[in-house]
Amino acid sequence: MTIEPVNLQKTLDTFSELWSPRIVAQFNDYDVRVAKFHGEYLWHSHEDTDELFIVVAGRLVIHLREDGKERAVTLHQGDVYVVPRGTEHKPVSDEESHILMVEPTGTLTVGDTHEEIPDYVDATTGHHLG
């Protein structure tokens, strides 16, 4: 990682792939990632970690399955939401949205349990810049 500041918008302008996060910073044992979302992701869960979402631009709906029930949380630009560890969730965006996420380093984007991974989803632990 660099010791220089990283501009989120400039970083987002360097790639067009959807659902393919870039690691913009690391601290302690965490990655700060940015990604472009559009369409539907897949149902998945992270058994050992919470997942923090911050909407930089656009709108994100996070569908959740909790205690046998489904609900949805809608996030707009500037909103923050934490999906609790072990909660099955599926992000959906009806427009290209820019998302910042904070997760432990090495966390797989498709979680520990997930549906079949579609071709448009990049199952990764994040891509380093440069």
If one compares 2 and 124, the residue with the highest pLDDT of the two is: 124
Position 109 confidence tier, pLDDT thresholds 50, 70, 90? very high
Q: Which helix (H) or strand (E) holds 8?
A: helix 8-12
Position 90 confidence tier, pLDDT thresholds 50, 70, 90? very high
Task: Indicate whether 92 pLDDT > 70.
Answer: yes
For the chain, give every domain's residue range. Answer: 8-116
- For residue 3, the model assigns a pLDDT of 80
Position 2 confidence tier, pLDDT thresholds 50, 70, 90? low
Pick the CATH number of 8-116 from 2.130.10.10, 1.10.486.10, 2.60.120.10, 3.40.1170.10: 2.60.120.10
Q: Residues of 107-127 as b/e, b for ≥16 C-beta within 10 angstroms? A: bebbbeebeeeeeebbeeebe
pLDDT, one tens digit per residue, over 19-43 is 999 999 999 999 999 999 999 999 9
Backbone φ and ψ for 108, nearest 5 degrees, come out as: -75, 135
CA distance 54 to 75: 8
- For residue 1, the model assigns a pLDDT of 54
- For residue 85, the model assigns a pLDDT of 97
Contacts of 69 (CB under 8 A, 6+ apart): none
